[in-house]
């Protein structure tokens, strides 16, 4: 897993999260991803960290407070990572390739947090936090749609419905962390490249 401190959503005015907070978040993230949010108790997280429930409550009042910086942070960090990697002077095909491969590289670095974020995206009881997530998600979707629209305009993509095409690509990328085996014969980037080849070439014989 990559460094959680780089992607968490914490108020900068409060300073960086402490080592204990990072430990709690790391263990909670792994448990949420493997057992589901509802399948994990505060006691489970505390035991994994080797601390008491009282100590955990000193840092986080409840499970939602643990979840919130993970989910909002990963949604924002993914978008910023991919957007920064896109070559602005490249054509639509290359930009789509980078969009997909960098998305996969990001989830390889932050796999458990990525799975948690995609699984519980809508569960935060505080409407303001859900709106913030949706704003970052919308920015990310608009980035992909812009690439696809540029490709249509340049004549390199034949897409009748850009929104549907975007959902197809996001579906492939967002589901991948749940079945991808880091020890498998293909790396995440190689799989993303194969996804792209299928998209570009289609499935029908020439």
Residue 206 in domain: no
Residue 17 in domain: yes
For residues 115, 119, 121, 126, the Cα torsion angle rounded to the nearest 10 degrees is -110
- The closest alpha carbon to 163, from 144, 136, 135, 137, belongs to 144
**How many Å apart are CA 162 and CA 152, to the nearest integer?**
9
Residue 195 in domain: yes
- The closest alpha carbon to 196, from 172, 180, 176, 163, belongs to 172
Residue 39 in domain: yes
Alpha helices in 36-161 (DSSP H): 42-49, 53-59, 63-85, 92-109, 111-119, 127-154
Q: Are 66 and 10 in contact (CB under 8 A)?
A: no
Residue 78 in domain: yes
- Give pLDDT, residue 11: 61
Q: What is the DSSP letter of 17?
A: P
Q: Are 29 and 110 in contact (CB under 8 A)?
A: no
* CATH code of the domain in which 82 resides: 1.10.357.10
Residue 153 in domain: yes
- Give pLDDT, residue 7: 72
- Give pLDDT, residue 120: 65
- Which structural domain, as residue segments, surrounds residue 89? 4-201
Residues (pLDDT < 70) of the chain are 1-6, 9-15, 119-129, 206
- Give pLDDT, residue 14: 64
- Give pLDDT, residue 178: 82
**How many Å apart are CA 119 and CA 200, to the nearest integer?**
29
- Give pLDDT, residue 66: 84
- Give pLDDT, residue 30: 86
Task: Count the domains in the chain.
Answer: 1
Residue 72 in domain: yes
- Give pLDDT, residue 88: 87
For residues 63, 141, 82, 123, the Cα torsion angle rounded to the nearest 10 degrees is 0
């Amino acid at each position: 897993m990559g460094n959680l401190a780089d992607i968490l959503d914490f108020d900068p005015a409060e300073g960086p999260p402490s080592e204990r907070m990072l430990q709690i978040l790391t263990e909670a993230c792994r448990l949420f991803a493997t057992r589901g949010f509802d399948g994990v108790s505060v006691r489970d997280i505390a035991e994994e960290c080797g601390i008491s429930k009282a100590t955990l409550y000193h840092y986080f009042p409840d499970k939602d407070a643990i979840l919130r910086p993970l989910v909002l942070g990963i949604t924002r960090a993914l978008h910023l990572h991919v957007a920064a990697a896109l070559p602005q002077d490249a054509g639509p095909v290359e930009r789509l390739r980078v969009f997909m491969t960098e998305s996969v590289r990001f989830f390889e670095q932050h796999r458990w947090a990525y799975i948690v974020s995609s699984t519980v995206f809508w569960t935060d009881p505080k409407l303001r936090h859900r709106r913030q997530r949706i704003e970052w998600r919308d920015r990310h979707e608009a980035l992909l749609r812009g690439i696809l629209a540029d490709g249509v305009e340049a004549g390199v993509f034949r897409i009748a419905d850009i929104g549907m095409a975007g959902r197809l690509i996001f579906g492939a990328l967002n589901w991948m962390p749940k079945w991808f085996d880091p020890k498998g014969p293909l790396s995440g980037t190689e799989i993303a490249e194969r996804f792209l080849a299928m998209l570009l070439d289609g499935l029908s014989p020439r």
